[in-house]
Amino acid sequence: MSDASAAPPSFDFDVIVIGAGYGGFDAAKHAADHGLRTAIVESRDMGGTCVNRGCVPSKALLAASGRVRELADAEHLKGFGIHAAPVRFERQKIADHANQLVETIRTNLTRTLERSGATILRGKGRLEGSQCVGVRQSNGVDRIYSAREVIIATGSDPFVPPGIETDGRTVFTSDEAVSLEWLPRWIAIIGSGYIGLEFADVYTALGCEVTMIEALDRAMPTFDPDIAKLAARKLIDGRDIETRVGLLARTVTPGCPVTIELADMQTRELVETIEVDAVLVATGRVPVSKDLNLGSVGVETNRGFIPVNDQLQVLVDGQPLPHLWAVGDVTGKMMLAHTAAAQGTVAVDNILGHPRTIDYRSIPAATFTHPEISSVGLSEAEARSLGESEGFELGVVRSYFKANTKALAELESDGLMKLLFRKDNGEVLGAHLYGLHAADLIQEIANAVARRQGVRELATEVHTHPTLSELVEVAYKQAAMAIDG
C-alpha cells in the first residue's frame, strides 16, 4: 500500500468519486483495491450510461437483431446450401434479453464495488469548495463529506438540438431506444454517427424502414472516408435506409405521425416536411457538469466539458488544481466506456503516487454494426499533417477481406483494413477497419500503437491460419515491404 492511504483522520474519505459509470467504477475500485478509503456517489443507476442506457443494452439488441438478419438473409444462406424457414422473432423477448443483461451487469458491478470495500453513497453529488463533496439524497437529506482527493465522473447525456421536442415515445433518444418498446414501421434517425448506425442496424434487421438524416454533406462523416464509402454500400445503401444529407431537422414534433421539418443546412430554408412513425435523435452527447458547483473551486468548463491534463487533473487557467480530478465523458476526450475506465485508473495511480499519463492514441473505437467498423490512432489526415510537421512520409497499405481465407469461408468477404505507418521508422500510427469482427481485430493494432511498434518487427509475428487476424499480418508485411522495397 502506498503512503497515499495514510490519510489524515480529518478527512471522511481518501477519495470520493462522483458518478458510478465506467469511469467512476474503475476509479473507485482501483482506489479501494489499493487500500484507499473510497466513497462513490451515484444519483441514478449504478453503472451509468454504458451499463443502463448504452453499450450493454445496445449490444444485446445488436446480437439478437444480427441473428435475425443472418437467418433472414436467404441469399447468404443459399451460398452454403442452407434453406431456412422464414424467420420469426418476438420483439418483447429481444427487449427482455437486453433488460436482463443490464440487470446482471449492474448487479455484478455493484457487488464488485461493495466487495472492494468502497462505500456507495446514493444521492446527487456536488463540490463544496476544495476537498469537500455535498451529497443530497432523494429524501432531501443533505450531507457534506470531506476527502483528500475528489474525482468527478459524471458522464454525459444525449444532446437534443433546439427545435426538436422529445416525448420519449414517438420522438426519443438512445436512452429510450435501448428498451425497444415498439417497432415503428418507419423511423427517422437523426445523425449518422456510431449510435445512429447501430440503431439503424437493429431497426432494419427487425423490418423497419429507416430514413437517416445527416446535417453534414456525407453520411458517416466521423469515419475514415474510404472506410465510410465501402461500409455505407452495405450498411446504408444495401438496406431499407434512405439517406438525406446536408439537411437539418429544424423542428421535430412528436405525435402520430411525427412531423419533421427539414431545412437546408447552409441557408436554413425549409426544404421539405416529412411524416414518420418515430424519430430517434442521435446527434451526440453533452457533458453532465452544470449542477456540480464547479464555481466553488473556480473551474470554468469548455461548453460543459471539464478541462483536464493527461494525468486527469482538473485545470484552472491551464494549471492543475490540487486534489481535483475528472475522468470519462465529462472530460470530452474520446467518449467511450473503456476510455473512461482507463482514465479512472490513471487518475488513481497518480493519486497513489505512481505517475502515469493516458495515451489516447492507442485507444480503439468500434461500431457494432453487421459487419463492424473500428479504428485506432490517427486519422489519415492527422497522420499526413504529423508527417509534414515532423518531416516523414506517410505509408498507407490496404488489406482486403476478400483475400482472407476465413472471411471467404464465412462468405463475408466485404471489408477493408487500412494501416497507417511512418515510412522512415515503420511506426504504426493508426488503422481503420470495416468487416467481419473488425471490433476484435483492431485490438492487435491498438496494442502495437500503445508500444509504438514498427511494422518490420510486427511483420515477423506469426498469425493463426485460417483466421481474420491474418488480415493484420498481411497489412504489416505489405508495410514492411513498402519500407524495405
Ligand X SMILES: Cc1cc2nc3c(=O)[nH]c(=O)nc-3n(C[C@H](O)[C@H](O)[C@H](O)COP(=O)(O)OP(=O)(O)OC[C@H]3O[C@@H](n4cnc5c(N)ncnc54)[C@H](O)[C@@H]3O)c2cc1C
Residues found near ligand X in the complex (CB under 6 A): 18-24, 41-44, 48-50, 53-55, 58-59, 124-125, 153-156, 174, 195, 288, 291-292, 328-329, 335-338, 340, 368
Nine-digit cell string for 93: 423477448
Nine-digit cell string for 95: 427487449
Q: Closest separation between CB of residue 51 and ligand X, Å?
A: 7
Beta strand pairing call for 241-245 and 319-326: unpaired
Active site residue 97: no
CB atoms within 10 A of CB 388: 10
Q: Measured from the CB atom, is 174 or 375 closer to ligand X?
A: 174
What does the alpha-carbon distance between residue 372 and residue 231 come to, in Å, rounded to a whole number?
9
DSSP-derived 3-state class of residue 443 = helix
DSSP helix, strand, coil percent of the chain (3-state; round to 5): 35, 25, 35
Closest to 158 measured CA to CA, from 176, 146, 144: 176
Q: Measured from the CB atom, is 125 or 377 closer to ligand X?
A: 125
Q: Measured from the CB atom, is 43 or 399 closer to ligand X?
A: 43
Q: Closest separation between CB of residue 348 and ligand X, Å?
A: 14
Instruction: Provide the residue count of the chain.
Output: 485
What does the alpha-carbon distance between residue 197 and residue 207 come to, in Å, rounded to a whole number?
15
Q: Closest separation between CB of residue 234 and ligand X, Å?
A: 20
Closest to 46 measured CA to CA, from 158, 121, 116, 100: 121
Catalytic residue among 83, 97, 338, 465: 465
Nine-digit cell string for 402: 476478400
> Taking CA 377 as the corner, what is the angle to CA 371 and CA 380, rounded to the nearest 5 degrees?
85
Q: Closest separation between CB of residue 186 and ligand X, Å?
A: 21
Q: What Rg do the C-alpha atoms of the chain give, in angstroms?
A: 24
430 DSSP β-pair partners: 377, 420
Q: Closest separation between CB of residue 212 and ligand X, Å?
A: 16
Q: Measured from the CB atom, is 324 or 335 closer to ligand X?
A: 335
Q: Measured from the CB atom, is 71 or 312 closer to ligand X?
A: 312
What does the alpha-carbon distance between residue 250 and residue 181 come to, in Å, rounded to a whole number?
26
Q: Measured from the CB atom, is 121 or 213 closer to ligand X?
A: 121
Is the Cα torsion angle 198, 204, 205, 207 positive or negative in sign? positive
Catalogue the active-site residues.
465
